[in-house]
Amino acid sequence: MCDTCGCNITSGNRHLLQPAGKLEKTADGKSAVTVLQSLLSENDHQAMHNRQHFDKHGVLAINLMSSPGSGKTALLEATIDALADRYRIAVIEGDLETENDAERIRARGVTAIQIATGSACHLDAHMVHDALHQLNLADYDLIFIENVGNLVCPASFDLGHHHNITLLSVTEGDDKPAKYPVMFRAADLMLLTKTDLLAVLDDFDPQKAEQCLRQLANPAPMLSLSATRQQGLEAWFDWLDDAITSHRGRLEQGETVVPKIQSDGARWHAGEPAHP
Amino acid sequence: MHELSICQSMLSQIEAVARDNRASAVHRVKVQIGPLSGVEPQLLQQAFPIAVAGSIARDAILDIELLPIRIECQQCGGESEATANKLICGHCGHWQTRLLSGDEMLLASLELDRATNKKTATC
């Protein structure tokens, strides 16, 4: 985000900026100062800085978001087992408490940094930056950030990653995208997980889940898989291969990509130098 | 419930603007929030006094302007209003639309007392 070039100006607030706009002076003579800056501009600057770190070392960073228990860690375990000889992988884990998930990842022979947020319901760019200090980015191709299990808050914070992946397990209900539009609108890919359970569920319709996603004007692909039963994983691995190849191509052109939730303003400025 | 951390981030921006304008107090803080920002206006209103306690904005009023969701259809080109979980074109019903406004989370303006405006006492 930036407050100098007008990229924060939208059709919703443009009227405030016009000459002699209503914000110039208040009725009782107090000075009015127009700011028009994202409430999260500090976070966004840190996120841009994190992204530059990733890009400098050719790392693709992926943010995994979902409800607690939808299978993020199981997906990572299956992914590491299949791809660890192809890519150098590290994981940043976000949870309120415990190192449980990080220990599961380390058991697969991969570095995992645990961020215990205490009571915070999301990761932010500053927390991820602290975690990055514990990783030598030159040693990795792919970094997963497993966000705190929560379908609300994580969607509002850019961490400096490149893609958002939102998991929806089939035990949660096929109308979740309609109920949590901010989260599902942010998804660059929606993974329908635990699909082996569809056989015993009579109230989850994958087509309806996809329809709810489309109603958010989101064209993101939806892939179905079961990490524990090893079903549908190939399509997910193909998506990852494509994402890594595309990212390397972009970096060669001096470009990067920001996750979907960011406004166009942030996208235009993705290549600007680090904030002082 | 991430509104408190958003308020804390907003406070550091408020303090920076107040410093730049040599303000002695902040009276009013205006923000613009869209339904797709992930911020709940009521919770922001409740978190605000906690975040600004003891700061230059401690007595400030938080004014929240709610912005509508507006979309532009990529098929028919029409503009329409939409709801948060149904961003489909109001004219032709197509789902491939672009958000024009509705995800804003902006610090719009501040009302300040400027220290330089104050008359110095003469004797």
| Most A-contacting residue of B3, B4, B5 (CB-CB within 10 A), to test interface | B5
Say whether B71 and A217 touch across the interface (CB within 8 A). Answer: yes
Q: Which residue of B has its CA nearest to A177?
A: B85
Structure tokens at A102: 């990080």
Q: Enumerate the β-bridge partners of residue B65.
A: B32
Instruction: Tell me the chain B residues in contact with residue A12 when contact means C-beta distances shorter than 8 Å.
Output: 32, 34, 67-68, 70, 101-102, 104
Give the number of C-alpha atoms closer than 13 A to the C-alpha of residue B4, restricted to the C-beta side.
10
Residue A102: exposure state from Cβ atoms within 10 A (0-12, 13-18, ≥19): buried
Q: What's the gap in Å between the CA of B15 and the closest CA on chain A? A: 12
| Span B84-93, average pLDDT | 96
Convert the pLDDT of each residue in B39-77 to its tens digit: 999 999 999 999 999 999 999 999 999 999 999 999 999
> Is B13–A41 a contact, with Cβ atoms under 8 angstroms apart?
yes
Residue A160 has pLDDT above 80, yes or no: yes
Residue A236 · residue A245 · CB < 8 Å: no
| H, E, C per residue of B52-93 | HCCCCCCCCEEEEEECCCEEEECCCCCEEECECCECCCCCCC
Beta strand ranges found along chain A (DSSP E): 31-38, 60-65, 89-95, 111-116, 142-146, 163-169, 189-193, 222-224
Task: Give the per-residue pLDDT at A82.
Answer: 98
pTM here?
0.87
Note the pLDDT tens digit of each residue in A62-104: 999 999 999 999 999 999 999 999 999 999 999 999 999 999 9
Query: Amino acid identity of A268?
Result: W
Tell me the nearest-neighbour CA distance from A220 into chain B, angstroms: 11
Amino acid A120: pLDDT: 87
For residue B114, the chain A residues in CB contact (below 8 A) are 31
**ipTM metric:** 0.84
How does pLDDT run across A99-152, given as a tens digit for each residue?
Answer: 999 999 999 999 999 999 998 899 999 999 999 999 999 999 999 999 999 999
Three-state SS for A209? helix
Q: Which residues of A touch B36 (CB under 8 A)?
A: 181-182, 185
Per-residue pLDDT tens over the stretch A169-179: 999 999 999 99
Residue A72's H or E segment, with its range, is: helix A72-83
